[in-house]
Amino acid sequence: MKNYLKRQQKLFTEAQQQRLEELNIMIAGTGGLGTNQALQLQRIGVNKIYLYDYDQVEVSNLNRQLCYGKNDIGRTKVEAAADFLEQFDLETEIVVSTEKITLATEVPADIDIIFDGMDNFESRFILDQLAAENEIAFIHAGIEEFFAQIMLVLPESELRLKDVFAGSEKKELPAVFSPAVTVTASIQVLEALKYLLAFDDYLENQLLHIDLLSNQMELIDLK
Amino acid sequence: MALEVKFYSLFRINLKTKGIEYQQESEITITELIEKLDQDFEGYFTQKLLKEDGTIARGTIILVNGKNIFHLNKLETKVSDGDIVTLFPPSAGG
């Protein structure tokens, strides 16, 4: 076990902790959700994080994308994020890619799950299809104002993101801010871990709906 | 048994209720359900769920027993007592 992980030792069995430290994660999109996911996944000691984003840092990102500051404006997001994460010297390997994710993207062979860090449904549907074709688990999250939803799609699942969210594409830019984004990404990481570390209960054919205005989290059955 | 309609996100906040139940022994379409909801909520759902031409608006989700009506019979999907209809604007950002 990495020596800085002692305070989380009691949370997991020895096998789970070992598995946790072997996990390789692909984060698709290093915006608000993606930067928060990366920070959490690095802190808990996963083996490797692949960061995918083809964009550069813009001033409008800074209200929620925690790996960037004003000095990073104009830099490639994944490189700025990698520099930020690596300064903590926490052993998790960070691998970056500026490839725009399409159905032709060759996903890394060693990943255990794909994290949705996208900011629109069109991109998410492509990502979900890529996960399905490569038989890799995929965990979706979307956040807007004070509301979010999270859905875990298992490799063998016939129920895909588009089955639930068809018709969700829209043109307007959603309102997003840091506290709600951070909460959502943290729950996304937790839900992914419950599945990856084989906890008894994890999201399966269910949508987790989060209402931060009313402090309510509810499961919506999808079958 | 009743036809259960559940609201989430802004729908719940705007309407100040988690949903509504109807005793609905015979089947009705989603279009007819929206008309019923409009009577109880002052036209709110036509405005939120439908475009001006009466087709389903982008950016909202209508699930019947967990399935998106896009993959069922769209607005002609039939529901009755025992069914659960879930309505919410999905969160798109990240």
Each residue of A103-154: pLDDT tens digit? Answer: 999 999 999 999 999 999 999 999 999 999 999 999 999 999 999 999 999 9
| pLDDT surpasses 80 at A14 | yes
| Helix axis angle, A14-22 to A178-196, nearest 10° | 120
* Look-up of token digits 């928060």: A36
Cα–Cα distance for residue pair B2/A121, rounded to 1 Å = 33
| A74 in contact with B, Cβ within 8 Å | no
Q: Best interface-test mutation with B: which of A33, A158, A168 has the largest number of B CBs within 10 A? A: A168
Q: What is the pLDDT of residue A82?
A: 98
Q: What is the pLDDT of residue A169?
A: 86
Cα–Cα distance for residue pair B13/B10, rounded to 1 Å = 5
Nearby residues of A166 by Cβ (< 8 Å), 6 or more positions away: B68, B70, B71
Report residue A38's pLDDT band, with 50, 70 and 90 as the boundaries.
Answer: very high
Q: What is the pLDDT of residue A191?
A: 98
Q: What is the pLDDT of residue B15?
A: 97
Six-digit token string for A40: 């959490």
Q: Best interface-test mutation with A: which of B9, B15, B55, B65 has the largest number of A CBs within 10 A? A: B9
Answer yes or no: do A167 and B8 touch at CB < 8 A: no
Q: What pTM was computed for the model? A: 0.96
| A167 in contact with B, Cβ within 8 Å | yes
| B52 in contact with A, Cβ within 8 Å | no
Of A119, A143, A220, the CB nearest to B66: A220
Q: What is the pLDDT of residue B30?
A: 98
Q: Best interface-test mutation with B: which of A77, A149, A171, A206 has the largest number of B CBs within 10 A? A: A149
What ranges make up the beta strands (E) of chain A? 24-28, 48-52, 93-97, 113-116, 137-144, 147-153, 206-211, 216-221
Q: What is the pLDDT of residue A101?
A: 97
Structural domains present in chain A: 12-221 (3.40.50.720)
| pLDDT surpasses 80 at A223 | no
Compute the mean pLDDT over every residue in chain A, rounded to the nearest whole number. Answer: 97
| pLDDT surpasses 90 at A46 | yes
Q: What is the pLDDT of residue A170?
A: 82
Give the Cα-Cα-Cα angle A88, A91, A93 (nearest 5 degrees).
Answer: 105
Per CATH, the number for B3-88 is 3.10.20.30
Of A147, A168, A223, the CB nearest to B9: A147
| A158 in contact with B, Cβ within 8 Å | no
Number of helices and strands in chain B (H, E): 3, 7
Contacts of B49 in chain A (CB under 8 A): none
Q: Which sequence spans correspond to the domains of chain B?
A: 3-88
Nearby residues of A131 by Cβ (< 8 Å), 6 or more positions away: A114, A137, A138, A153, A155
Do A167 and B58 touch, CB atoms closer than 8 A?
yes
pLDDT per residue as tens digits for the range A130-144: 999 999 999 999 999
Do A113 and A48 touch, CB atoms closer than 8 A?
no
| pLDDT surpasses 80 at A90 | yes
Of B61, B65, B86, the CB nearest to A165: B61
Q: What is the pLDDT of residue A182?
A: 98
Give, rounded to a whole angstrom, the gap between the first and last alpha carbons of chain A.
39
pLDDT per residue as tens digits for the range A159-207: 999 999 998 888 889 999 999 999 999 999 999 999 999 999 999 999 9
pLDDT per residue as tens digits for the range B38-91: 999 999 999 999 999 999 998 889 999 999 999 999 999 999 999 999 999 999
> Residues A27-42: what's their mean pLDDT?
98
Q: What is the pLDDT of residue A186?
A: 98
Nearby residues of A223 by Cβ (< 8 Å), 6 or more positions away: A159, A205, B66
Q: What is the pLDDT of residue A158?
A: 92
Q: What is the pLDDT of residue B48?
A: 93
Answer yes or no: do A163 and B58 touch at CB < 8 A: no
Six-digit token string for A71: 């000095």
